[in-house]
């Protein structure tokens, strides 16, 4: 019985860690795209960050990054001069 509890606790920690890694990976990709990507690539990368927070069930992080993604995506539709 004790082993089952330890295994369950370990799995919870693992899944939380995996979500954090996914967020970190998405944020790192966004940083890279910010330096040299097209406006559409920046929009896509920003959306991936928001989606990572959503999958992690981090409501505050999702709301914050979703607003940023919306701004980034609106910017990608502006005409270029």
Residue 39 domain-assigned (yes or no): yes
Domain count, the chain: 1
Residue 81 domain-assigned (yes or no): no
How much is the pLDDT for 5? 41
How much is the pLDDT for 19? 65
pLDDT in tens, 20-66: 899 999 999 999 999 999 999 999 999 999 999 999 999 999 999 99
Taking a C-beta distance cutoff of 8 angstroms, is the pair 45, 29 a contact?
A: yes
How much is the pLDDT for 18? 53
pLDDT in tens, 3-33: 454 344 444 443 444 568 999 999 999 999 9
Which structural domain range is residue 69 located in?
Answer: 2-76
pTM of the model: 0.74
């Amino acid at each position: 019985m004790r082993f089952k509890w330890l295994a369950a606790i370990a799995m919870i920690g693992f899944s939380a860690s995996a979500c954090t890694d996914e967020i970190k990976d998405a944020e790192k990709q966004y940083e890279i795209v910010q330096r040299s990507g097209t406006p559409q690539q920046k929009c896509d990368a920003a959306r991936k960050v928001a989606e990572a927070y959503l999958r992690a069930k981090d409501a505050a992080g999702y709301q914050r990054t979703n607003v940023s993604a919306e701004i980034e995506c609106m910017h990608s539709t502006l005409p270029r001069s």
